[in-house]
Structure 1
């Protein structure tokens, strides 16, 4: 066993606390998204208008991941985690106002706070894994990253159901206040028990160090941007609107289907070490990232061809989305492991934050294109762009190191 293991073992409890905070936050994040979608649809907003309410959520995710990584290295991951929890409470409180105050700018501001909070939490949780697993145990690191990432996405899907349930039981104001109250309890526990030096760099990094100097991390970040742009270019706006307007699905059916998809997506992520056959062998490297991206590019292209050929759109989309989701989950889990593996141990949040900045940039790009391209050319055009983006991600991944970069 690595001799560093005993020295790191006290961090196990700290990581479990961070993970619990991350799970609690994720439930409120998914529930809040569903609350906003359902409530503002009831107020008469169109699907595209509702989607645009989340624009600042993605925009501020780009900035937060970049600056948050720097803050985490200077101040410690405990403070970035606690700040994220506090900002989520503030975002929920902002929405517990009379309906006349729920203007588009006000809701977008609340979503901006929620986006900042979410990415501070994600960076803190993912960065702490680097501190817990010894450098020589890469297969174990992959399993732990996959479990954390998969459970988070599954809980976000559960949060969709929670949001709909709370809306029915408590109404919009009651639901957001109940979630804010629960997070206050988690926040207080975090203030009391999270160690102040978790993830703090030995030397305070300068602001100019925000941009990664690692070729491996830069390539992986570029691949991540196009990977998540490929998902959201048809998933965020185009797919829900198509299912609702062209196939006649109710909003409950659309929301329930997407929630189940995300839960299944998270389950596949958690199982990815076994599914990619690395659980009992060497950990994956850059070759695996390229190899798993290539078949993924064929799925949206195949769906677009099937739709253009006149195949029944319902079965084509549902079946295609299931296959796409499974392959995308494996690709995402591989990327999430590789960034933790490539990141420097001292000031890990700088590298992780830079990488998730690219992730947020991909979501932002996909969200904007999803609405604009669907409105101009329809779902098939979104699918072709998705296939092209995945192909670019595969090409960029070709230059990733064949073995994990030592810390």
Structure 2
């Protein structure tokens, strides 16, 4: 059956399968680390520090990884990402007495490098597997890849908790390492050797994009993801736990379901934004959708300020925010692949996702800091939401400069 498919579709399936397998282990590992080290008595700050290098190395990896992908080929960078994730999991199989904060931070740093090499390679590959005159199909394939990844990340949260309960920490980590090692071997065999390698070897200075459209889109992406994480990463789960009295399973379960729903909306974004009617998104579409999104954090903050039922305001507001954010994210994911040049595509995609990682890092740090100094309750969450609104308004202004029509 598979051999009857076109070579491009077979390669797309290999890339997608790699990305799915990696995403499941990435989401499961995050939940495993949080739950296991919380159970060992680690403080919230210690647990947060475990993921600090994960985000920092994501910024560095996206910037350099795009250059490596153009020089070596995307098959190599994707396979290196898989191998590094296996190594990161293996680092956590040491005796429990070795699992200090610096050791786990180092493992998470390795996992962060692996994740962004894998993501950059997967997103860049799609550009090369779709004919240049088939922008509609490109949008559909990018949306499916991006949406399915986020849905599976939510599934990974559930998987991590389930494996921890059934196999214990080391058993769960060993099982994931074994499965991912098998995926790595299959990828070595099935992924095309020359995928994504630039005809002319790019110099290191070429890691910075020379395209005005990509620079504008990258700046917009940084503030877009900063606007999400500035209230979603630290402030929201702590507020749900401390102020609303939700237990860990309620908080984790709700956020996991939210991530799965977010991914499903991403996959459906082409239908929502009009691809079925022959309309492809451009700079105007990106501006309109982020302008609409910018209303939601302010609405949630206003509801909390007025003393409305906080659970109702947050749950309903978060659902609307998630749906609109998913559409914005999917539009951006299409536009970067659409704008990127075919020769050395990973250079443009890597630079763009460096901005994405920088936005996540800024948002994560500000989420904890603003929530703490403004008061760890409704006032702190409101402050984070107002900052989210400001970031989204900046994204809207930046998006006004994106190209209209064909780039």
Question: Would the TM-score normalized by the shorter structure come out above 0.5?
Answer: yes
How many angstroms does 1:102 deviate by?
1.2
Equivalent pair of 1:143/1:279 in contact (CA under 8 Å): no
Residue matched to 1:87: 84
- Residues 119-171 of structure 1: CA deviation (Å, up to 9, x unaligned): 11111111011111122221221111111100000000000000000000000
Matching of residues 250-269 of structure 1 within 5 Å: 250-269=247-266
Change (3 A) 1:79 1:93: same
Deviations 1:165-191 (A, max 9, x none): 000000001100100000010011111
Is 190-199 or 233-242 further displaced after alignment?
190-199
Check 1:164–1:91 CA distance in 2 against 1; reply closer, same or farther (3 A cut): same
Aligned counterparts, 1:307-386, within 5 A: 307-377=304-374, 378-386=380-388
After superposition, give the CA deviation of every residue in 1:48-107 in whole Å (9 maximum; x if it has no partner). 432232111110000000110000000000100110000000111111122221111111
TM-score normalised by structure 1 residue count: 0.96
**Superposition deviation, residue 213 in structure 1:** 0.4
Corresponding residue for 2:377? none
Residue from 193, 201, 219 that aligns with 1:196: 193
2:33 aligns to what? 36
Q: Is the 8 A contact 2:12 2:126 kept in 1?
A: yes
Q: 1:9: how far off?
A: 4.6
Verify the 8 A CA contact 2:274 2:280 in the aligned structure 1: no
Q: Which residue of 2 aligns with 1:143?
A: 140
User: Residue 390 of structure 1 aligns to a residue in which SS?
Assistant: helix
1:231 aligns with 2:233: no
**Once the 2 structures are TM-superposed, how far is the Cα of residue 208 of structure 1 from its aligned partner?**
0.6
**In 2: Cα distance, 1:276 partner to 1:194 partner:** 32
- Which residue number in structure 2 is paired with residue 283 of structure 1? 280
The one of 50, 53, 68 equivalent to 2:50 is 53
Partner of 2:21: 24
Q: In the alignment, is the contact (CA less than 8 A) between 1:338 and 1:404 conserved in 2?
A: no
Indicate yes or no: 2:405 matched with 1:391.
no
Partner of 1:270: 267
What is residue 245 of structure 2 aligned with on the other side?
248
* Partner Cα distance (2:335, 2:395) in 1: 14
What are the equivalent positions in structure 2 for 1:108-147 lying under 5 Å apart?
108-147=105-144
Instruction: State whether residues 8 and 130 of structure 2, in contact with CA within 8 Å, keep that contact through their aligned partners in structure 1.
Output: no
Structure 1 gap ranges (5+): 1-7
DSSP-derived class of the 1:271 partner: helix
Structure 2: distance between partners of 1:404 and 1:129: 19
CA distance in 2, matches of 1:302, 1:102: 43
Question: Is there any run of 5+ residues in structure 2 with no aligned partner, and where?
Answer: 375-379
C-alpha distance in 2 between matches for 1:352 and 1:159: 25
Q: 1:194 Cα shift?
A: 1.4
TM superposition shift of 1:275: 1.1
State how far apart, in whole Å, the 2-side matches of 1:289 and 1:308 are. 30
1:203 is paired with a residue whose SS is coil
* Larger mean Cα displacement after TM superposition, 290-299 or 13-22: 13-22
Q: Residue 62 of structure 2 contacts residue 354 of structure 2 at CA under 8 Å; is this kept in 1?
A: yes
Cross-structure match for 1:3: none
User: After the TM superposition, which segments of 4 or more aligned residues of structure 1 sit over 6 Å from their partners?
Assistant: none
Q: Is the 8 A contact 1:341 1:404 kept in 2?
A: no
- State the Cα distance separating 1:45 from its structure 2 match: 2.3
CA–CA separation in structure 2 for the residues paired with 1:120 and 1:279: 32
Q: How many residues align?
A: 398
Q: Quick one: distance in 2 between partners of 1:229 and 1:190? A: 33
In the alignment, what sits opposite 1:75?
72
Is the Cα contact below 8 Å between 1:58 and 1:363 reproduced in 2? yes
Distance 1:124 1:248 in 2: 41
On the 8 A contact 1:9/1:132 being kept in 2, the answer is no
Aligned 8 A contact 1:220 1:339 in 2: yes
1:28-56, CA deviations, whole angstroms, 9 ceiling, x for partnerless residues? 00000110111111112233432232111
1:175 aligns with 2:203: no
In structure 1, which of residues 93, 96, 118 is the aligned counterpart of residue 93 of structure 2? 96
**Distance in structure 1 (CA, Å) of the matches to 2:19 and 2:358:** 21
